[in-house]
A and B are shown apart, each in its own frame.
Chain A
Amino acid sequence: MVIDSWRPSAEIEEIKRRAEVLAELRRYFLSQHVLEVETPLLSRYTVTDPFVAPIEASCSARYLQTSPEYAMKRLLAAYGSELQGIYQICKAFRADDSSARHNPEFTMLEWYRVGFSLQDLIDEVGALLRAVYLQQNQALHISQRSYQSLFEEFLGVNPHRAGETKLRALVSSWLPEDSAELDKKDLLELLFSFGVEPHLTNYQALFVYDFPESLSALAQLKCDKKQGIKTASRFELYLSGVEVANGYHELRDPQVHLSRFLADQQRRQALNLPAYQIDSRFMAAVESGLPDTSGVALGVDRLLMALSGKPISGVVIFPANLA
């Protein structure tokens, strides 16, 4: 409850903790020879993802970045062979409502590691978390589960093989009204949010890996020959059931990039969402060749929420309603 609207919503202990954690993150990357970089917050292009809503800066025909992904990949396309990795700690912006775990402006740690497999990067996120929890004198238990095993345990179906009709029938217990406009990707996201995530609160830190093909975003696909399916080389980190990080073995093929962006644009059109151009500078960088890289974005505010047990207003000094 805000009494004085000029005062910070975070207590001084949490403001100090934020500074300590940021220092520990930088110390870790320095020790691993990962280069700190800065890319623009204001960009001429934004993303095409249907459910990532950008904030437009009215004066300059620029968008506030929803993540530094494209600019960092342009940097990797140019200098990747000379680097072990790059990281950035910056603000990202999304035009979503505020909630106990959402603020339209948030702090993101994003990093890319050249030559890393998805599992190498999962291991590194684990090592980074251990360093931060140790600095904060907190114990940490890390688990790892495949998307499929969680889906099967809590919803009773194989997410890679279940057809749309089956998924739609499952969705009806949360969304009894019309689910017609939801596509397979939306159905899977909804089922995971409502049917699986509430059970993940039992895991202090959990890596969920190998996502369904339709949730690949900009992750590479890999073939599971035993099951005869394709999965996305993507992972997400959950801390006490809250989504904190999202990582990929990064897609490199320019044609696949283009087809995924075009599919996004079609989906936006079908949902009457604003249309956004494909970032031509990013596409040119992909065509010139991205190095073999795994990358991850981690919400720093969410990490601080897990360390403090507080909602986002307890760890952000001035959340949107006080900004």
Chain B
Amino acid sequence: MATYSTSEFKSGLKMMLDGDPCAIIENEMVKPGKGQAFNRVRLRNLKTGRVWERTFKSGESVEAADVLDVDLQYLYNDGDFWHFMDNDNFEQYSADATAIGDEERWLKEEDICTVTLWNGSPLSITISNFVELKVTDTDPGLKGDTAQGGIKPATLSTGALVRVPLFIEIGDVLKIDTRSGEYVSRVKV
């Protein structure tokens, strides 16, 4: 079992805490001149996303978490699981709804995304900052209204609902910023 000592602590280090994989956000050594040293650590629980604060006695060891990020291609959803493939070795992974979370609305077949694996299984996914998705439903735009600042809702192929300019039509492909969920531009196809 790999372990990390407090002297190896730094931001980004992945470790096990209360049975969950966590990543260090911030590590601060607290050492009074005459007193014992402690490490005050802020960690993100990689399963729940919650931020924890913990104190360790300096010199203590903590179990390392077998966590790594890989770029995988999204294949399909079978109703229960989302399936991904590593294009380098064709190894396939299946992720459950907890791992996919809210990202489902941006997940398009054949797109590449970053999957965080814990002990070889998907723990969470990170979508690219920008995705291109087709409009499947929106109210008809008004002719000649392209320059106005009006907006309307549009449904995308993944089911996501975004606010778009009035000139957008069904069948258009849109560039979306997945961090804010906002429309960026129309993509010429």
The answer to whether B33 touches A246, judged by C-beta atoms less than 8 angstroms apart, is yes
Kindly state whether residue B98 has any CB partner on chain A within 8 Å.
Answer: no
Which of A73-81, A140-148, A150-158, A186-194 binds B? A186-194
Kindly state whether residue B31 has any CB partner on chain A within 8 Å.
Answer: yes
Q: Which among A49, A99, A174, A194 is the interface contact of B29 at CB below 8 angstroms? A: A99
Q: Which of A147-190 contact B (CB under 8 A)?
A: 174-175, 182, 185-186, 189-190
CA distance A194 to B30 in the complex (A): 8
Chain A residues with CB under 8 Å of B7's CB are: 97
- Given the interface contacts A97-B29, A174-B55, A194-B55, does A246 sit within 8 Å of B36 by beta carbon? no
> Smallest CB-CB separation from A175: which chain B residue?
B55
Kindly state whether residue A102 has any CB partner on chain B within 8 Å.
Answer: yes
Shortest distance between the CB of A78 and any CB in chain B (Å): 27
The answer to whether B34 touches A51, judged by C-beta atoms less than 8 angstroms apart, is yes
Q: Which among B28, B37, B57 is the interface contact of A100 at CB below 8 angstroms? A: B28
CA distance A265 to B57 in the complex (A): 20
- Given the interface contacts A175-B55, A194-B55, does A51 sit within 8 Å of B28 by beta carbon? no
> Smallest CB-CB separation from A67: which chain B residue?
B33
Kindly state whether residue A243 has any CB partner on chain B within 8 Å.
Answer: yes
The answer to whether B38 touches A193, judged by C-beta atoms less than 8 angstroms apart, is yes
Mark interface residues in A182-208 (1 if CB within 8 Å of B CB, else 0).
100110011011100000000000000
Kindly state whether residue B32 has any CB partner on chain A within 8 Å.
Answer: yes
Chain B residues with CB under 8 Å of A100's CB are: 28
Most chain B CB within a 10 A radius of its CB, from A49, A185, A186, A190: A190
Mark interface residues in A81-113 (1 if CB within 8 Å of B CB, else 0).
000000000000000110110100000000000
B interface, CB within 8 angstroms of A: 6-7, 28-38, 40, 55, 57-58
